[in-house]
Amino acid sequence: MRNIPSMDKLLALPWVAAYEEKLGRETVKLLLTGLLASQRAKILKDPDTAFDFESIESDARRLLAKKSTPSLRRVVNATGVVIHTNLGRSLLAKEAVSEVLDIAGSYNTLEYSLEEGARGHRNNHVEWLLCRLTGAEAALVVNNNAAAVILALSALAKDKESIVSRGELVEIGGSFRIPDIMALSGTKMVEVGTTNRTHLKDYEEAVTGECAMLLKIHPSNYRITGFHYAVPREELAALAHSRGLIFMEDLGSGMLIDTSAAGLSSENDPTVADSLRAGCDIVTFSGDKLLGGPQIGAIVGKKELIEKLKSHQLLRALRVDKMTLAACEATLRLYLCGDVRAIPTIDMIFKTKEELLEEAKRFSRRLKTYFKGTRIQRLTIEVVPVNDTVGGGTFPQSVLAGYAVALRLPEMGSAGKLAEKLRRGSFPVITGAAEDKVLFHLRTMREGDDRRIIGALDEILRMPAERTY
């Protein structure tokens, strides 16, 4: 125990001062106190515990480095998954980022009407854009699609029955379960049909005087193939309206444009406008999936229904902030003027094999040039065809044909080991892997990512950081 260094000795180490500037002296002391307490606990448990000052110093350096580094960090996404839920879903367009920066650092018209010189409504900034782009009578945005579903069910079907097919009672990532969401909203769930087949008569027989809504749910990554049947939207809409019921669809991904030109089928993923034209009274969808904007939950549909949602007390707890609205408005305006390829998600989805092949060849040449200046003797670099995916619970049965650069470095261990080192670097690179090769999918690599990947490899090989290639 006497060999454990004192706090003063650790604080006197020359490299500690830099962390005191980032974390504050008291925070550094608190972290080091915890580290020393952990070492004492190990010795008490096992007096023969191996111990030396160098190991304590090394542990302290790693701990302070970790705590002084932001947890939410930028990464290179070389996985080929466009809407990567774990990596932040959709990327904002440059125009949206610019608007966020401008609004975030300035006073603004979040809830102020310049025309009237009085209080305005934050929803007004995006409502007319959503209506123009979807054909809806009215629109409302909240902080995510789960919130949109809860608000709509709470405002329109609380203490009433909502009929839903058993085949649509899905669980989405993060334990988002439709039955739980419906229970939370206060509506009474009525299941109809079977897992694989639900018919119109199932809905017809379930309608009672307590029923308020027919509900259709997007299946996300879940699909049934083979002996399967789901009632078309048009037939559900006709039934709902003949019985005085609301027909609501949780569309999930929120696609505003036709993606069939990219080889993606719209059978299970219609556009928002398609759902409204089919007779849906209310449609909910995400902003940070196929729409390509910030995290929002959009609710579009009949004006009299949207007005009920706007006056619901739950709305205040679910409203979005000024930065989200700025990003959402800027993204929607890109759709309005037809500049959809300026939206990164849309651009990546529509990239052709030919475009990706040329990008892969360029990156392959750059990697080969880089490795000529290293100590690595054995390596393989090749351009290979791959199947990319949209991700985000959309188009689970569809692939986007693309290309990747495959890298094998036997001297650095397995592909898994190299992928781990790239992931744990100062600028993390997240890759794919196959056949003991690390795969850099070009579809999801952004401008400058080739340099960042070479920088990450440079760091792994412990080469001078100032070298450029």
Token pair for 155: 């405002």
Residue 468 lies in a domain: no
> What is d(CA 371, CA 237) in angstroms, rounded to the nearest whole number?
61
pTM of the model: 0.90
- For residue 272, the enclosing domain spans 94-342
Q: Is residue 167 situated within a structural domain?
A: yes
Tell whether 164 and 50 lie within a shared domain.
Answer: no
Do residues 110 and 209 share a domain? yes
Residue 399 tokens read as 């692939």
pLDDT of the chain, 469 residues: tens digit per residue: 777 888 899 999 999 999 999 999 999 999 999 999 988 888 888 877 766 788 888 899 999 999 999 899 999 999 999 999 999 999 999 999 999 999 999 999 999 999 999 999 999 999 999 999 999 999 999 999 999 999 999 999 999 999 999 999 888 766 678 899 999 999 999 999 998 999 999 999 999 999 999 999 988 766 777 788 899 999 999 999 999 999 999 998 889 998 888 888 666 678 999 999 999 999 999 999 999 999 999 999 999 999 999 999 999 999 999 999 999 999 999 999 999 999 999 999 999 999 999 999 999 999 999 999 998 989 999 999 999 999 887 887 788 999 999 999 998 889 999 999 999 998 999 999 999 999 999 999 999 999 999 999 999 997 544 343 3
**Cβ–Cβ < 8 Å for 133, 256:** yes
Query: Do 315 and 353 lie in a common domain?
Result: no
Q: What is the 3-state secondary structure (H, E, C) of the chain?
A: CCCCCCHHHHHCCCCHHHHHHHHCHHHHHHHHHHHHHHHHHHHHHCCCCCCCHHHHHHHHHHHHHHHHCCCCCCCEEECCEEECHHHCCCCCCHHHHHHHHHHHCCCCCCCEECCCCEECCCCHHHHHHHHHHHCCCEEEEECCHHHHHHHHHHHHHCCCEEEEEHHHCCEECCCEEHHHHHHHHCCEEEEECCCCECCHHHHHHHCCCCEEEEEEECCCCCCCCCCCECCCHHHHHHHHHHCCCEEEEEEECCCCCCCHHHCCCCCCCCCHHHHHHCCCCEEEEECCCCCCCCCCEEEEECHHHHHHHHCCCCHHHHCCCHHHHHHHHHHHHHHHCCCHHHCHHHHHHHCCHHHHHHHHHHHHHHHHHHHHCCCCCCCEEEEEEEEEEEECCECCCCCEEEEEEEEECHHHCCHHHHHHHHHCCCCCEEEEEECCEEEEEHHHCCCCHHHHHHHHHHHHCCCCCCCCC
Residue with token string 């305006």: 333
Shared domain check, 302 and 438: no
CATH number for the domain that contains residue 223:
3.40.640.10
- Is residue 404 one of the residues assigned to a domain? yes
Query: What gap in Å lies between CA 156 and CA 381, rounded to an integer?
Result: 58
Domain of residue 408, CATH code: 3.90.1150.110
Which residue, of 297, 324, 342, is where some domain finishes?
Answer: 342
Please indicate, yes or no, whether residues 106 and 81 belong to a single structural domain of this protein.
no
Q: Is residue 367 part of a domain?
A: yes
Residues 80 and 102 in one domain: no
Instruction: Measure Cα distances from 276 to 200, 260, 273, 284, 305 in Å.
Output: 19, 19, 5, 11, 14
In this prediction, residue 307 carries a pLDDT of 97
- Quick one: 294 and 427 in the same domain? no
Number of domains in the chain: 3
**Residue 242 placed within a domain:** yes
Do 160 and 213 form a contact (C-beta atoms < 8 A)? yes
Does one domain contain both 62 and 184? no
Q: Provide the pLDDT for residue 468.
A: 37
Note whether 188 and 173 are same-domain residues: yes
* Domain assignment of residue 2, yes or no: no
Looking at the structure, tell me whether residues 182 and 227 fall in a common domain: yes
Residue where one domain finishes, among candidates 342, 373, 398: 342
Same domain assignment for residues 305 and 220: yes
- Considering the domain architecture, whether residues 109 and 227 belong to the same structural domain is answered as yes
- Domain boundary (325, 342, 359) is at 342
pLDDT at 276: 97
Asked whether residue 467 is assigned to any structural domain, the reply reads: no
Residue 434 included in any domain: yes
pLDDT at 467: 40
Q: Would you state the pLDDT for residue 465?
A: 41
Distance CA 44, CA 22 (A): 33
CA distance 269 to 216: 13
